[in-house]
Chains A and B, each alone.
Chain A
C-alpha cells in the first residue's frame, strides 16, 4: 500500500473508532432512558444499576407478564384489572414475586391473555388493597419471537383464546 493510501486508511479508521467509542459512551449513559418500560421489580425495588425508582403520581410504562388467575373483568362494563410480574425465563409465577396491579377501562388487544407479555402506559398510584398499581390509559400486547402452528402449540400446552365481550359491556362506555 502506498503511503497516501495508508494515511487515508488511518484517518478513516480512526474516525470510525472514534465514532464507535463516542456512541458507545452516549448509549451507555442513556441506557436507563432508552428502556421502554419499568418491570414490576424495578417499580418496587428500583433499577438494578442506579436504584432509580418511579414516584407515586408519575406517568410511566410498565412491562410484565399477566399473572394467571389475576385477571378480573367487570361483567357490566369494560373495567378490568390484572397483575403483572417480571418477564423472566423460565416462566414461573411465585406468590412472593414483585407484582403490580394494572387497572384499565377499554378493549384489550387481541393478544391479551394470562401469561402474555403486556406493556401498559399509565399513572403509578397507591391503591389501599393492592399496593402499588397503575391506572392505565393504554394497554399494548407484547408477543414473543416464537411462532408455531396451532396444532403444535396445543401439543405444547399453549393455546390462545382472545377475550370476548358481551353487548352490555361494549355499550357501557357510551352511557
Chain B
C-alpha cells in the first residue's frame, strides 16, 4: 500500500511538468499582443509597452519564460498579472470560492443522484423509475446556462425567494441554487449509473444468498448491495470534483461568484500565461489527488481489490 502510494505520487511529477508546460506554451501561442488592446482605440505609448515587456520578460523565448516561471513557482512565487496583482492572492481568494461551490454541487449531486438511483434501481419500471428517467433526460438535455438563467430569473427576480446573485460573504445557503445548477447535469449521470449498477447487483448471487439467509432488507441493501454498487458512482463523483471546479465558469458568471473561471477566461484572453498556469496547476493537482483517492476507495469498497 505504501509503495503503491509512493509510486502514484511520483507519477504526479511528470504529469505536472508536462501539463504545465503544455498550458504555458498554448497560452503563449494565442495570437495577439497583450498590450495592443489595452489602451482602447488608441495605441499604448511605446514607453508603456517597453516597460511592461521588460518587467514580464516577454522578449524572451517561451522556454526561458517557462523556466523562469517554474523557478519562481518552486519558491512559492506565482508571479504577477499584467495588472500587477499577485497571482498567489488571486488563487488564495478565488479557489476557496470555487471549491465551496463545487463541494455544494457535489453534495447535491450525491444526495439527489444516489437517492434517485437507489430507489429506481430497486423498483425498476415502476412509476418512480419512469419519472426519474424522464426528468434526468430533461436535465441532461438542458445546457447549464439555461438552467442557471431560468432558476435565477424565477427564484431570484420573479418570486424573490433568493437573491439573484451570491454576496461576497459566500454563505452556504446562497450557494444551494448555484450548486444545483452546476451539478444538475451530473445528478442525471449519477442517478443513471447508480440505477444500473444496483439493478445489476440486485440479481447477483451474494444478494440472493443474503436474502435467503433471512437478513433484513435494510441490511441487504445498505451493506451488501450498496457497497458493491458504489464503485462506478464513486469514480464518477471523484473525477467530477475536478470537472465541476474547471467547468464552473458559466455558473460563476451567472451568479456573480468570484471564482477561478473568470480569472482563467480573462487571463487567456489577455495572454497571461502565468495566471492560467498558476490556476490550472492547482486544478491539475486536484484532479490527480482525487483520482488517487478514488483508486484507494476502491479497495475499501471491494475487498477483492488490493494494492501492492
On whether the two chains bind one another, the answer is: no
A→B interface (CB under 8 Å): none
B→A interface (CB under 8 Å): none
